[in-house]
Amino acid sequence: MQISDEVLALKILSRLTPRDIASVGSVCRRLYELTKNEDLWRMVCQNAWGSETTRVLETVPGAKRLGWGRLARELTTLEAAAWRKLTVGGAVEPSRCNFSACAVGNRVVLFGGEGVNMQPMNDTFCVGPELHKSRMATCQSELSASWALGQGLLNDVFVLDLDAKHPTWREISSLAPPLPRSWHSSCTLDGTKLIVSGGCADSGVLLSDTFLLDLSMEKPIWREIPVAWTPPSRLGHTLSVYGGRKILMFGGLAKSGPLRFRSSDVFTMDLSEEEPCWRCVTGSGMPGAGNPGGIAPPPRLDHVAVSLPGGRILVFGGSVAGLHSASQLYILDPTEEKPTWRILNVPGRPPRFAWGHSTCVVEGPEL
């Protein structure tokens, strides 16, 4: 009266987290053999990270060679993370900085920013196992930024399709765009929707609005997300997507009365709700604070925050107050009961300059 291996794998084991499977593999010979099954690991990865992430990972060259079991291990422990330098060729006209760029499926979307006339840095750093260096190298555009010199703020939208034979930047005409701005943050949802939040308007006023643009529509229209309460307006913060349709806002230079301070606050919003609202992520016990527990990253703006499979957010760089190092990597899991900041120790030499730039995860675990 036994449950067969297939049924056991499908009905029970596939629901466990990668770490639990590794633990279960140490129990007995039968379970050890089961944890050698790639199909089981694929189901586990899909349940743990969602079907969108596993679908994208499947298309990454090198992922097949590693196999799902190894991928699960590396993306859970991040043991293969190491700093590596990567060069991307091409240019974006008009050349701009302090824009925000993020991945929309296989397309890279660029929004707003300021015109520049300083030399942009043209190297890109990456963190992660070497999975798609060749992909980034064939892209015809540069994701780089440098100092802001203000030539007028923009609110146009450009799209780069990395799947096209000769990827080129293409402008998107959209209706009812939000106020032109720079130093805002953005992220993409479901691979088709661009979310933009905050930033600094032409007048110098800090914004705290949140807008959504559905790029899958024939004629995309910007829509403001109505909320009863917003976190203090800010610029130079980040928006990251996790758990499917949730977004996490971190840091930035935030308005506090007549002053502006660097922040390390964390706020989240669940866009799958009927009426999405901003929530503080607490854990430090301070009332009203948006500070999770643990060793928080020093307050900063203009940093990078990347979503890792499993819902964790990785924070790096930025303009940090005082003498704190900006090249320390911090990790936060907003899905934990008491979200806690942790430091990620990674071998290799991190980039010397860690602010004023923009990065995104196009595919796979590269930063």
Asked if 350 interacts with other proteins (CB under 8 A), we say no
- H/E stretch holding 155 reads strand 153-161
DSSP letters along 200-214, please? Answer: EETTS-EEEEEEEEE
Asked if 36 interacts with other proteins (CB under 8 A), we say no
Asked if 79 interacts with other proteins (CB under 8 A), we say yes
DSSP letters along 256-277, please? Answer: ETTEEEEEEEEEEEETTSSS--
Asked if 42 interacts with other proteins (CB under 8 A), we say no
What's the min distance (Å) between Cβ of 79 and other proteins? 7
Identity of the residue, 73 or 262, whose beta carbon is nearer to other proteins in the bound complex: 73
Q: CA-to-CA distance for 253 and 81, rounded, in angstroms?
A: 29
Asked if 77 interacts with other proteins (CB under 8 A), we say yes
Applying CB under 8 A, which of residues 43, 53, 73, 186 lies at the interface with other proteins?
A: 73
What's the min distance (Å) between Cβ of 18 and other proteins? 8
Q: CA-to-CA distance for 86 and 351, rounded, in angstroms?
A: 11
Taking residues 295 to 314 in sequence order and writing x for each that binds other proteins by CB under 8 A, - otherwise, the string is x-------------------
Q: Are 269 and 255 in contact (CB under 8 A)?
A: no
Beta strands in 99-245 (DSSP E): 100-104, 107-115, 123-127, 153-161, 169-172, 181-182, 185-189, 193-201, 206-214, 222-224, 234-235, 238-242
Identity of the residue, 73 or 135, whose beta carbon is nearer to other proteins in the bound complex: 73
Give the amino acid at 178: P
Applying CB under 8 A, which of residues 53, 54, 76, 182 lies at the interface with other proteins?
A: 76
Asked if 205 interacts with other proteins (CB under 8 A), we say no
Residues within the interface to other proteins (CB under 8 A): 1-3, 7, 11-13, 15-17, 19-29, 31-32, 73, 76-79, 81, 294-295, 342-345
